[in-house]
Amino acid sequence: MRIEGKAAFEEAVRKAREEAASRRLEVLVCCGTGCLANGSQKVAEALAAEADRRGLSASVGLFTKKTGCHGFCERGPLVVIQPSGTLYTRVKPENAGEILDKAVSGDGAVTRLLYRDPATKKPVEKYDEVPFYKNQTRVAMRNIGKVDPADIRDALAHGAYRGLVRALFDLSPEEVIAEVEKAGLRGRGGAGFPTARKWKAARKAPGEPKFVLCNGDEGDPGAFKDRSIMEGDPHSVLEGMVIGAYAVGAHEGYIYVRDEYPLAVVHLTLAMEQARRWGLLGKNILGSGFDFDIRISRGGGAFVCGESSALMRSIEGKTGEPRQKYVHATDKGLFDCPTVLNNVETWADVGAILDRGGEWFASMGTAKSKGTKAFSLVGKVKNTGLIELPMGTTLRHIIYDIGGGILGDRPFKAVQTGGPSGGCVPEALLDLPVDYEKLTEAGSMMGSGGMIVMDDRTCMVDVARYFLGFLIEESCGKCTPCREGLKQMKVLFDDLVAGRGRPGDIERIERLAEGMQLGSLCELGKSAPNPVLSTLRYFRHEYEAHIERKACPAGICRDLTAYEIVAEACNGCGACAKACPADAITGEKKALHVIHQGKCISCGACFTVCPSDAIRFFPKAERPEAASGGLP
């Protein structure tokens, strides 16, 4: 199985392709964590068992395959039939029989399981025609959903390691770096640092050994592209790292995977074992004489370990405390040795760049942000999932054309990008082309690619407070501005949402924000004020309402909001009473229902389910009897 030399590699690929072709029909079941959460494991098992029972592999060459995340998580569990390209959504185990019937007969599809376009209301049969997929350009995620991550031959059949072969046999390390520079690749973890520049510095740095690391700590809540890449196409990460190691002269590497991604660890470990057996990792890779091997290091549950110096300390077995980086990691990083750390997606791009050329990659994107970017589109949007698009795509296109617009057709309010270090972008900026510079100018940032869509039922003060709550748990506590500043900022926000805001609070918040931005040791503390400052920039009136009128315009802050049923609109359907977790609503069938203010906890569940728009919310402060619970 071990491959030595270019010719042997071509032969191995040829064999893998032949084998893939012999699988005349493939039933691909998405088994990424998202679909698994929706029961896709049972779907995969049902399909495999039924196909087995019918002897389909022998009779018609039909094989079932578990793949990584297809991306269209909203509609999972997802099944794709190849070569017809039929996409089935919301599949249940009991659908196995009919899916196989149609796959084998080649005669149409199970119509009711097809994706239905909300605009035309018509079913769309082919994967390539579904708007969610049609508009994507998948580079980092090129093979996810197509390959079985547990089978290296499948990866080889789909182009894995071609870039590595070119790098090792046709290019010098300097030429490899030049190719990456031509591509204009910038770090996909959030900071957007030019990858070639980092590699050059590490290559030049004196000292042995050198390390290449993969940052799989994806801590931004709302981002899961790295998880999907590690789970769904681990070889893309391995290939990138071998190329990078060759370029900078490293022979050891680590993939740091956060503790919350156990499946990624399993798939990466298996992929590494297989790669070693085939000579694509380890000693004398492909017979080229180049040695490089990788170890997996699991995180312990700490967002701060996504920060490069904290990550390295974690690999060293220490607490994840960042250090001041006046000496760059490319000079002294892991174990004080020259180190290159890149994000999962960055590594996944490298293989494609070496295979298809830097010029090809740079032909996509904007002037300063080349190539494509993976985004996780989540929140109050109809089509939630994972997408990859050229840099420069507008937010409007992403949210409306691909995302299908706002859930429930409610008004769009903002999209949060960049995780806890990012900010909220309002409706006025929906035509912003997404790239590193434009998002930063707007007061947000690219971050990991998480895009959380928010509707009018989102309180921006609450959003800022949410991120503060998150960061307070994640601060390492080493430096005063972050440790104490986050605590005090949260106190100010707790007061705001509880109606205890005072005049001057906005100025207090801004002063503390500046102190944290300028004084903190690492980016966690420095960027912690971003959600606060960006929501203040675009939604100042909400802050003012909380302070001056003790009101929450979005009706979310429970201490400030009361709910009541509008008599004229209520038809007595009782949906509200059923949804109420506090037993605060009473009413006879088909008669007017009533919310008992004394019992109501203002959670808004009734508002969400009422089909007749019969529930309204208003500031508690406007109904003094309401606040004291004096109403019936």
* Window 229 to 268, contacts with other proteins (CB under 8 A): 259-261
Q: Select 431 or 507, whichever has its Cβ closest to other proteins.
A: 507
Pick from 59, 289, 326, 428: which binds other proteins (CB under 8 A)?
326
**DSSP letters along 458-481, please?**
--HHHHHHHHHHHHHHH----SHH
**C-alpha R_g of the chain:** 27
Nearer to other proteins, 140 or 304 (CB): 304
Distance (Å, whole) CA 416 – CA 220? 11
Tokens of 568: 């004229």
Tokens of 207: 């000292």
Q: How far apart are CA 578 and CA 609, in angstroms?
A: 9
Q: Given the complex with other proteins, which of 315 and 547 has the nearer CB atom?
A: 315
> Binding other proteins by CB under 8 A: which of 101, 174, 316, 359?
316
- Residues 401 and 115: beta-carbon distance below 8 Å: no
Residues comprising the chain, all counted? 632
Taking Cα atoms as reference points, which of 436, 427, 421, 372 lies closest to residue 405? 427
Using CB under 8 A as the criterion, what x/- string covers residues 47-76 for binding other proteins? --------------------------xx-x
Pick the binder of other proteins from 23, 65, 227, 593 (CB under 8 A).
227
Of positions 132, 161, 224, 563, contacts other proteins by CB under 8 A: 224
Using CB under 8 A as the binding rule, whether residue 580 contacts other proteins is answered as: no
- CA distance linking residue 518 with residue 512, whole number of Å: 10
Please report how close the Cβ of residue 51 comes to other proteins at its closest, in angstroms. Answer: 25
Which residues, 6 or more positions from 504, have their beta carbon under 8 angstroms from its beta carbon?
none
Nearer to other proteins, 151 or 218 (CB): 218
Cα–Cα distance between 395 and 221 in angstroms, integer?
19
Comparison of 133 and 224: residue with beta carbon closer to other proteins:
224
Nearer to other proteins, 76 or 184 (CB): 76
* Choice from 484, 510, 523, 544 touching other proteins (CB under 8 A): 484
Q: What would the x/- binding string for other proteins be over residues 587 to 616, using CB under 8 A?
A: ----------------x-x-----------
How many residues touch other proteins under the rule CB under 8 A: the total is 85
Binders of other proteins among residues 382 to 441 (CB under 8 A) are 384-386, 416, 419
- Report the alpha-carbon distance of residue 450 to residue 345 in Å, rounded: 13
Q: Does 303 bind other proteins (CB under 8 A)?
A: yes
Nearer to other proteins, 29 or 165 (CB): 29
The three-state secondary structure class of 351 is helix
Shortest CB 495 distance to other proteins, Å = 9
The span from the CA of 323 to the CA of 307, in Å, is: 10
* One character per residue 454-483, x = contact with other proteins (rule: CB under 8 A): x---x-------xx--x-xxxxxxxxxx-x
d(CA 542, CA 552): 7
Q: How far apart are the first and last CA of the chain?
A: 78
Comparison of 471 and 614: residue with beta carbon closer to other proteins: 471
Please report how close the Cβ of residue 19 comes to other proteins at its closest, in angstroms. Answer: 32
Structure tokens at 337: 């040795």
Which residues, 65 to 124, sit near other proteins by CB under 8 A? 73-74, 76
- Residues between 498 and 537 with contacts to other proteins, criterion CB under 8 A: 508, 511-512, 514-516, 518-521
- Say which DSSP state 548 is in: I
What residues from 334 to 353 belong to the interface with other proteins (CB under 8 A)? none
User: What b-and-e string marks burial along 268-287, b requiring 16 or more CB atoms within 10 Å of the CB?
Assistant: beebbebbbebbbbbeebbb
